[in-house]
Amino acid sequence: MSEHALPSTAAPGGTTALSRGLLLLMALSAGMTVANLYYNQPLLADIGRSFGVGPDSVGLISTCTQIGYALGMFLFVPLGDIKERKGLITVLLALVCLSLIGVATAQNLPWIYIASLAVGVTTVVPQILVPLAATLAAPGESGKAVGTVMSGLLLGILLTRTVSGLIGGTWGWRVMYAVAAAAMLALLVLLRVKLPTNRPSAELRYGQLLASMGSLVKRYATLRESALIGAANFAAFSVFWTALAFYIEGPPYGYSSRIAGLFGLVGAAGALGAPIVGRMADRFRTERIIGVLLALNVLSFLLFGAWGGWLWALIAGVLLMDLGVQGTQVANMARIYALEPAARSRINTVQMVTTFLGGAIGSSLGSFAWNHGGWRGVCLAGGGSVLFGFVVWALHRVRR
């Protein structure tokens, strides 16, 4: 099959068409579930004080969560190509609810590391919902559907920091995780009622399913490029957000964890561009769109490094970075889902496992860079990650 094959217009399993209400529910669900990965970031300093440890040790909480997410995507998301998706989503929501309770009740660092890893492993529902939206969408509207669900996911990532900073900063980080567990239980009931039954047509054993992902990577150069760009972008994204709480606690800002969380509102404004990028991907060449968005990422870290001590530059950089990172992800998803519609869950797994491994590296790199190089080190680490993604994009264009 050609790398530029068109998506299938049929929905497997005789599922109903994707209504606007259902699409918005899927976007909301994606945002609520992915939020579980990021509640810790504005609260890392508070968690560190609870256990009497510094940035390096407490930063591993974010790393464990990201590694768990990558592992969960590899183990569970491919099942969307062979299993009924509503039942799979129900089981995963039940498991993540238990994992969040584990974090809320953690009594020491090893406990919270293991519980955070479990949260990551089980918080993969968004990566089942995104290809499901593309499958249910009407012909010619898969990019729009992916962009809408991804917008919900991205707003969840960013607004999480605001919610977490306010709730955790007021009542403590344990309360934040207890609230998150209750939210997952409520979402389980809602999706069980509202989601249509969706039975994919692929007939593979689990071992064959996992092995087939290697052949997809080998077959499609576009998938390889997209995955590497996703990893580079998300590494830079995680470098910044992991270090931000530590940076603005000190001079020249002196802000609390609640204020750190409010920066998520700034990033959310940038992420609102994701549906627009999705619509553009249905009509224009995604390679050019991605190039422009990568340039915005580079510009954001130039702002952070040159004028990060000024609030206007920090706000402008967050807007550009989140629009660039999230828009690039939407454009990448739209083009790789068109490669082989029957393998969308596996293609999504390759893309997102690579992306979040980059995010895990970025979380550790952000803590390390802050501890050893301060804000300048953070900007160099994040900017270097973004430049790597831009080089991958440029080399792919040259080879073509």
Q: What is the pLDDT of residues 77-133, one digit of tens each?
A: 888 888 888 889 999 999 999 999 999 999 999 999 999 999 999 999 998 998 888
Can you tell me the distance from the alpha carbon of 284 to that of 278, in angstroms, rounded to the nearest whole number? Answer: 10
What is the CATH topology of the domain spanning 19-198+206-399? Growth Hormone; Chain: A; (1.20.1250)
Q: What is the pLDDT of residues 351-381, one digit of tens each?
A: 988 987 898 789 889 888 998 889 999 999 9
**What pLDDT is stored for residue 245 in this prediction?**
77
Can you tell me the distance from the alpha carbon of 244 to that of 165, in angstroms, rounded to the nearest whole number? Answer: 12
Eight-class DSSP state of 5: P
Q: What is the dihedral of CA 275, 93, 99, 178, to 10 degrees?
A: 80
**What pLDDT is stored for residue 282 in this prediction?**
64
pTM of the model: 0.72
Q: Is 237 a residue whose pLDDT tops 60?
A: yes
Q: What would you measure as the largest C-alpha separation in the chain, in angstroms? A: 59
| Mean pLDDT along residues 338-349 | 84
Q: What is the pLDDT of residues 26-43, one digit of tens each?
A: 999 999 999 999 888 888
What percentage of the chain has pLDDT greater than the value 70? 89
Q: What is the pLDDT of residues 326-336, one digit of tens each?
A: 888 888 888 88
7: cis peptide before it, omega within 30°? no
Q: How confident is the model at residue 230 (pLDDT cuts 50, 70, 90)?
A: very high
